[in-house]
Amino acid sequence: MLAMNPRVSRWSRTGELVTLAGRRIFVRRRPGSGPPLLLLHGYPSSSYDWRALFEHLPDRHLITFDFLGFGLSDKPREQLYSLLMQADLVELVAARYAGGEPLVLVAHDMGTSVATELLARELENKLQFELASVLLFNGSMVIERASLTVGQKLLRSRLGPIAARLSNERSFRAQFGRIFSAQHPLSGEEAADQWSLLAHNDGHRILDKLTFYLHERVTHASRWHGALHDWPGRLELAWAGLDPVCTESVLQAVLELRPSAPLTRFADLGHYPQLEDPPRVAAVIEHHASQS
């Protein structure tokens, strides 16, 4: 097992490991003003993606956590990594940390599909907390329009278990770096931190299992697309224009489902806008939250 590097170790001390549904889940929470903001991360990263918001939104009530299998949370080998299970965790985190207040949900990448499952549950009157509003960043919510990376395609295939066993820091850095924009490239420090979190408790060995959500985006397409279309609350989009995975084609497909959704564009940013330009992303989130 690889040791956490010093920066990731410091991050781990800002939060806590809590037991939810029998698993240890890493949660970072800071009380503040306004409605609680619950931040959902993507694949293959963790809540660490949102760390700059704690600096750039100093007065806001922020909650973020690592999904099961990611970051500092438990990484059981035989788990079925369903987004339905991850949505269950969101409900448990909200019950424990939001104090019964309506939540502003902010999601990126894989987290956007968890968000659409939560919208579907609210439409069914089954959601265990109240949503004040939703802000979705780049995510392959319409999977047939997405341009999956070579690594994602391989991990999703029958060769996935072999690819996961052979994964290493060098290959991770190369593939992860390709989804950042040329103007805001992946730094060596960021790459080291992301690998440290991925490899924590040998999480890189289950990368193939963590891609199960790509199958679910097909299986549950009707349910999740319907939720995007039908959910009556305030839903906004923020989209990075240089994302090679969640491209303009994905955005247009989402807008076909939700044509009235207000849209903020980051024309010069890649797949991880919150890492490439945290102040701009924080400003968009602050503006969204201020209207909730």
DSSP letter string, 127-156: -SS-EEEEEE-S--SSGGG----HHHHHHH
Predicted local confidence at residue 159, as pLDDT: 58
Q: How confident is the model at residue 212 (pLDDT cuts 50, 70, 90)?
A: confident
**What is the reported pLDDT for 83?**
97
What is the chain's alpha carbon radius of gyration, rounded to the nearest angstrom? 17
Q: How confident is the model at residue 186 (pLDDT cuts 50, 70, 90)?
A: very high
- Min mean pLDDT across 10-14, 68-72, 139-143, 280-284 is at 139-143
Cα–Cα distance between 154 and 239 in angstroms, integer? 26
Q: Pick the closest to residue 175 from 196, 149, 141, 154 (CA basis).
A: 149
Q: How far apart are CA 105 and CA 122, in angstroms?
A: 13
**pLDDT (average), residues 281-286:** 98
- Identify the DSSP state of 182: S
> Which residues have C-beta within 8 Å of that of residue 98, sequence separation ≥ 6?
36, 38, 63, 129
Report helix, strand or coil for 73: coil
176 band by pLDDT with thresholds 50, 70 and 90: very high
Longest dimension (CA), the chain: 48
Q: What is the mean pLDDT of residues 28-45?
A: 97
Q: Lowest mean pLDDT of 74-88, 159-173, 195-209, 226-240, name the range.
A: 159-173
% of the chain surpassing 70 pLDDT: 92
d(CA 130, CA 107): 16
Residue indicated by tokens 């894989």? 110
- Residue 192 tokens read as 């080291």
**pLDDT attached to residue 115:** 98
The whole-number pLDDT of residue 182 equals 97
Cis peptide before 44 (omega within 30 of 0): yes
Residues comprising the chain, all counted: 292
**224-264 per-position pLDDT tens digit:** 999 999 999 999 999 999 999 999 999 999 999 999 999 99
Could you tell me the pLDDT band of residue 214, with boundaries at 50, 70 and 90? confident
* pTM for the structure as a whole: 0.95
In 3-state terms, what secondary structure has residue 263?
strand
User: CA distances (Å), 146 to each of 7, 59, 130, 138, 152, in order?
Assistant: 33, 36, 30, 11, 11
Q: At what angle do helices 110-123 and 221-230 cross, to 10 degrees?
A: 70
Q: Is 246 helix (H, G, I), strand (E, B) or coil?
A: coil
Q: Rounded to an integer, what distance in angstroms lies between the CA atom of residue 259 and that of residue 133? A: 17
Residue 2 clears pLDDT 80, i.e. is over it? no
pLDDT 10s digits, 107-137 = 999 999 999 999 999 999 999 999 999 999 9
Q: How are strands ordered across the β-sheet holding 33-40?
A: 16-20, 23-30, 60-65, 33-40, 103-107, 131-136, 235-240, 263-266
What per-residue confidence (pLDDT) applies to 190?
Answer: 97
Mean pLDDT across the chain: 93
| Residues 64, 50 contacting (CB under 8 angstroms) | yes
The one-letter code for the residue type at 188 is G
Is a pLDDT exceeding 60 seen at residue 26? Answer: yes
Q: What value does the mean pLDDT take over residues 77-103?
A: 96
Tokens at 270, concatenated? 């890649």
What share of the chain in percent tops pLDDT 90? 85
Cα separation, 6 vs 148, in Å, equals 32
